[in-house]
Structure 1
Amino acid sequence: MTKHEFEVAMTCEGCSGAITRILNKMGDVKFEIDLPKKLVWIESDKDVDVLMTALQKSGKEVKYNGTK
């Protein structure tokens, strides 16, 4: 599985909670959230566009930083 890094404009626990709920619904993804650094790492075989679209459902600004 590929590990992707995204920068998400999260400001609080509520924001990271929303991201957690969205990613848990996707299934077949492992993820880590670093709220202070506003980073989300997702390990998945899904296409980057699919992951990006899912993260954007949170209403937050999302930037793809590449694979790690």
Structure 2
Amino acid sequence: MPKEEFYVDMTCGGCSNAVTRVLSKLDGVLYEIDLPNKKVIIESSYSVDVLLETLKKTGKEAKYLGCK
């Protein structure tokens, strides 16, 4: 499965918890949260569009950065 990298405007643990909450609703998703660099790396079979829309549900700015 490809690893996709996203920017998410996270500033604290609460922000990263929001990312965890929305991603945990998707089946078969592995992810790493890099809070200091405001990045989320996701490994899944979902499309980039689905992942980006899911991350935007946190209420934070989210952008696709590319394949890792």
- Regarding TM over 0.5, the answer is yes
- Structure 2 residues without counterparts, runs of 5 or longer: none
The question of 1:35 aligning with 2:41 is answered: no
What SS class does the counterpart of residue 53 from structure 1 fall into?
Answer: helix
Task: Structure 1: state its 5+ residue gaps.
Answer: none
TM-score by length of 1: 0.97
Q: 1:23-47 deviations in whole A, cap 9, x for unaligned?
A: 0111110000000000000001111
Answer yes or no: is 1:11 the counterpart of 2:6.
no
Aligned residues: 68
Cross-structure match for 2:49: 49
What letter is aligned with 1:15? C
Distance 1:58 1:14 in 2: 10
TM-score, normalised to structure 2's length? 0.97
Higher helix content, 1 or 2: 1
Structural RMSD (CA): 0.5
Query: How many percent identity over aligned positions?
Result: 59
Structure 1 runs of 4+ off > 2 angstroms?
A: none
